[in-house]
Structure 1
Amino acid sequence: MTDITRPVLPPLPVPAPQDDALFVDSIARGFRVLSAFHGASGPLSLGEIATLSGLTKSAVQRIVHTLRQQGYLRRDPADRGYLPGLRLLDHALDYQRLNPEIARVLPVLMELRAATGERVDFSLRDDLRLVYALRFQSKRGFYAASLIGTSVPLYCTAGGRAVLSRLPEDEAASVIARSSLVPYSSPTLTDPAAIMARVAEAREAGFAIAEEQIVAGEIALGVPVLDEAGRPIGAIHVAGSLAEWDADSFARNFAPLAMTAAGSLNRG
């Protein structure tokens, strides 16, 4: 299996409406600078940060200096630009340890990993994408599949289609219409009607299957996790290799386990 080559980028922070007296624009600009690193392949210069953030170079220079002094940015050792700083990990840790959903899912996901022997993940929905919050690797683990915070689109992933299957049909269609629908691999479905057909299959089965939609050679199964109102907040995923499984055998072996795991977490 190969690595993900086109990351799904979260949106940049946007300016507040002019009548929002509580909005602190300088803080938003700081987050725009930090968000410039989404999808970066290496250090960024001040000019590159300005281009990616949509801010002026003079504003970026001041913000970068401040963030560097606070430990949220660092200078590249080869002096080629700037990189995220270590203190950003403190906030990732705070999110995980203070999020009650992650605390509830952790033991369930560990049990599912032991039962399947395959990679298992838990992701949370953020509008058009899923963000991986917990990941347990299999013997075939690879770098991108180990990173917390990696995001994938709803329209072409097993977890995403599982989430869409628990939304009203018109809402699911709206999500697909607002998505970029770019192909990650040659088998990636980008036709809205074909995607909605897979969503309908997931609604009927209670789980979704996706083959090579993002990663070559990978098959994945997704089951939605629901809140008190029956709305999907995220998904549990089981992922394996097409060298070992076909869709029918993968679903037969792992759908009952994943659905039981998700069912123990559903609040509805």
Structure 2
Amino acid sequence: MQVNGPSDCFGGEVGANSVQPDRGLRAGDTANSSDPLFVQSIARAIQVLSSFHQTDKPLTLAEIGVACGLGKSAVQRVVFTLRELGYIERDPTDRGYVPGIRILDHALDYLRLNPLIERASPVLLELRRNVRERVDLSLLDDLRLVYASRLQSKRETFYATLVGHSVPVFCTSGGRAIMASMSDGEVEDIIERSDCRPYTAKTLTAPQDIRAEVRKARANGYALALEQIQAGEIAIGVAISGSDGRPQAAIHVAGSLAEWDPETFCARFAPLATEAARAISWR
């Protein structure tokens, strides 16, 4: 995705090659590495699998090594093992390696055993029938939201239908709705740690603008995002709380500004999205 006028939350210059939030283990990650219970070989395997997060093509052994920060010998052993187990495969055109089919088994396990997703599924289906626009369920993971369910409209591309895609908290409707359910200190922490690169020319990256959108979401009970991730898109987000009352997920309803003005979109869909979020949230 192209970026326009890259800047971070504090006005400094940042690279424009990627705006995808961090996910998985990366080179240099050492959390718990000194704990005697921490298994380094498992961490290396996860680092190798995580090297595919930011790529749009098969990776060679050398490219995997660069992406995950491991030496050639270690990468070769890990890739061989994961390939034997079905978690890495050779690309059909033999240009390198790609994730293997066995990874889907674990994605299914997560989706079917997550109680929030189980509670949300029938509610989301009913909401999609009522709004006839795109409906998403995203889960909070520190500075990003990860899509766990995506019920599409007629306009969506293949990439937009994929479960597991993630977006930053700071500039999304669901993220702003979640921040609105947090304390001011927690909101500041998210802003300070976020790499606030713009997705479009309209993405709000200045801290004061993000704070203002969070205040609006608190007042309204939902957040509105205009062209923050995709040009021409309008989206409403409502937070979902867990059993401890803390926000842990969000519902998004998204449409096109070619078909909706913000006032009409909010009047039509905000009450429905809010009702759905309440039905999913633990009381």
TM-score range, shorter chain: over 0.9
Number of the residue aligned with 1:81: 96
Distance 2:167 2:33 in 1: 33
Within the alignment, does 1:47 sit opposite 2:62 as a pair? yes
**2:164 counterpart SS class:** coil
Letter in 2 for 1:44: L
**2:195 counterpart SS class:** coil
Measure how far apart 1:18 and its partner are.
5.2
Within the alignment, does 1:12 sit opposite 2:32 as a pair? no
Measure how far apart 1:15 and its partner are.
2.5
Q: Compared with structure 1, are the counterparts of its residues 3 and 206 closer, same or farther at alpha carbon in structure 2 (3 Å cutoff)?
A: farther
Letter in 1 for 2:38: F
Distance 1:8 1:147 in 2: 16
What pairs up with 1:18-167 in 2 under 5 angstroms?
19-167=34-182
Number of the residue aligned with 2:226: 211
Measure how far apart 1:144 and its partner are.
2.0
Number of the residue aligned with 1:256: 271
Which runs of 5 or more structure 1 residues have no equivalent in the other structure?
Answer: none
Distance 1:252 1:48 in 2: 49
**2:196 counterpart SS class:** coil
Q: Compared with structure 1, are the counterparts of its residues 17 and 95 closer, same or farther at alpha carbon in structure 2 (3 Å cutoff)?
A: closer
Higher RCO structure (Cα 8 Å, ≥6 apart): 2
Q: Compared with structure 1, are the counterparts of its residues 232 and 28 closer, same or farther at alpha carbon in structure 2 (3 Å cutoff)?
A: same
Measure how far apart 1:229 and its partner are.
2.6
Distance 2:279 2:2 in 1: 32
Percent pairwise identity: 54
Contact 2:19 2:198 survives alignment (8 Å): no
Letter in 2 for 1:200: R
Q: Which stretch of the first structure deviates more once superposed, 219-228 or 16-25?
A: 16-25
Q: Compared with structure 1, are the counterparts of its residues 254 and 34 closer, same or farther at alpha carbon in structure 2 (3 Å cutoff)?
A: same
**1:222 counterpart SS class:** strand
Measure how far apart 1:8 and its partner are.
2.5
Distance 1:3 1:18 in 2: 36
Contact 2:200 2:229 survives alignment (8 Å): yes
Distance 1:11 1:27 in 2: 13
Letter in 1 for 2:56: S
- After superposition, give the CA deviation of every residue in 1:125-175 in whole Å (9 maximum; x if it has no partner): 000000000110111121222000000000110001001100101111110
Contact 2:19 2:197 survives alignment (8 Å): no
TM-score norm. by structure 2 comes to 0.91
Contact 2:60 2:97 survives alignment (8 Å): yes
**1:230 counterpart SS class:** coil
Distance 2:207 2:20 in 1: 21
Measure how far apart 1:19 and its partner are.
4.0
Distance 2:168 2:128 in 1: 23
Q: Which stretch of the first structure deviates more once superposed, 181-190 or 136-145?
A: 136-145
Within the alignment, does 1:168 sit opposite 2:183 as a pair? yes
Number of the residue aligned with 2:15: none
TM-score norm. by structure 1 comes to 0.96
Distance 1:154 1:3 in 2: 19
